Amino acid sequence: MPDELNIFEEEFWSIKGVLEKLLQGANARAVLLIDKAGQLITSAGDTTGIDVPSFSTLAAADFAATSQLATLIGESEFSHLFHQGEKNSIYVTLVASKVILAVIFDNRTNLGLVRVRVKQAASELEAIFKRIYEKLESELGSPLKLDEGFIEEAESELDNLFK
């Protein structure tokens, strides 16, 4: 799978639809889809009053730090995180091993409902990302392979540069 994520328009709107359905079904305040580098992919709901770039960066860092904690106790990863506040809470999960789904919710809903709806949404998102990766693979063809002659010529040129 490519490290950089290119989203095609059809899949983008499918992702938006899944996020909107999650937002409504979980009665959440906002839903954000973030890459592991901390960049926002897209969101749904009310993000006013939230510094979205900072939130995205910190959510990715939180997930990375928690993954290291998991490793320290012999787990491969913690795939779900939950932070509970007085008024607002955050539920975060990893989707397709590449993106982070964050749900911000208040006391109009509960963690159980959020978890059930996130599980459904994550399954739908994984199918969409699988289609994206398949499209990218078919567009890019097989990975770039350099033949032996090219490698030998490049090494020779590098040797000549440093003589």
Q: For 4-8, 63-67, 122-126, 143-147, which range has the lowest pLDDT when averaged over its residues?
A: 143-147
Q: What is the pLDDT of residues 81-123, one digit of tens each?
A: 999 999 999 999 999 888 999 999 999 999 999 999 999 999 9
Q: Does domain 9-161 have CATH number 3.30.450.30?
A: yes
| Between 133 and 128, the higher pLDDT residue | 128
Q: What is the pLDDT of residues 39-87, one digit of tens each?
A: 999 999 999 999 999 999 999 999 889 888 988 999 888 888 999 999 9
Query: Domain map of the chain by residue range?
Result: 9-161
Res 147 pLDDT > 60: no
Is the separation of the CB atoms in 34 and 56 below 8 Å? yes
pTM score: 0.78
Most distant CA pair in the chain, distance: 71
Looking at residue 145, what DSSP letter applies?
Answer: -
Res 151 pLDDT > 70: no
Helices (H), 27-110: 52-72
Q: Which residues partner with 105 through β-bridges?
A: 89
User: Which residue type does 160 have?
Assistant: N
pLDDT at residue 162, rounded to an integer: 60
- In the three-class reduction of DSSP (H, G, I as helix; E, B as strand; rest coil), residue 105 is classed as strand
